[in-house]
Amino acid sequence: MEILDGKALARKIEERVASEVKTLKEQTGRVPGLAVILVGNDPASHAYVGMKKKACDRVGFYSVTHEMPESISQETIEKTIEMMNANPGIDGILIQLPLPPQIDTTKLLELVAPNKDVDGFHPYNVGRLTTGLDGFVPCTPLGVMQLLEEHNIDVKGKNAVVVGASNIVGKPMAALLLNANATVEICHIFTDDLKKHTLDADIILVGAGVINLITEDMVKEGAVIVDIGINRAPDGRLVGDVDYDAVAPKSSYITPVPGGVGPMTIAMLLSNTLKAAQAHAKEA
């Protein structure tokens, strides 16, 4: 059993990004810019945005966070996005989810300029991913693919089961695996007999937000386990969706939680923002 260490790979990616930021600045005089919209007081959202800000600082990005109250109007957020779309100093725009119930999230995500959509949530980028064209890919599944590649885990021809069908993780994860020629199944809350599907899987990728959803009896010997879930256990620990202690001995590779997929998400956000900045520099 080998650990898929997201922390170590994220550090390598940060070093590469920081080096390319220096080159971009020397050649064009510009620095990648990332703008974040943060609404309300959700502690997890504030923690994530704080981590993203620190990562931007480490690699030499310009970053700005627009903090807004829970009671903010749809119109105010839309005006802020339009302002950022028009700002040549901003290469990437990120809307921290979830948003309050009075806000139409879909409309906001569609308002972000596709060439600044570093989260990969705009329908334009979703369509390009689905059809195998270059674009911006959601950071978490993109990070998973990088982690598999780093450990020379070839998904071609393998049976991959994605547990969870969210627009942010499950669906783009399945699309990336399919583009890499894996045989892909997506399981979700309405899937009958999850174990029947996971037992056949060479690779299980789970992001359902359920503690210990994947247990030792659901995994075949030598499977690759990618735990995308992050949950707060009753004792306060951060845990994933996989019963790690029981499943790890049966697996060939497994991601820890924390320290597996999480650091890769932020590393891919940096990578996507750099990609946007490099494209904008060519257009200037």
Rounded distance between C-alpha atoms, residue 46 and residue 54, angstroms: 12
Q: Find out whether the peptide bond into 98 is cis, omega within 30 degrees of 0.
A: yes
Active site residues: 52, 96, 119
What pLDDT tens digit does each residue of the chain (284 aa) get?
999 999 999 999 999 999 999 999 999 999 999 999 999 998 889 999 999 999 999 999 999 999 999 999 999 999 999 999 999 999 999 999 999 999 999 999 999 999 999 999 999 999 999 999 999 999 999 999 999 999 999 999 999 999 999 999 999 999 999 999 999 999 999 999 999 999 999 999 999 999 999 999 999 999 999 999 999 999 989 999 999 999 999 999 999 999 999 999 999 999 999 999 999 999 87
Domain boundaries, the chain: 29-115, 139-262
pTM equals 0.96
- Fold match flag (29-115 vs 139-262): yes
**Domain at 29-115: CATH architecture:** 3-Layer(aba) Sandwich (3.40)
CATH 3.40.50.720 fits 139-262, yes or no: yes
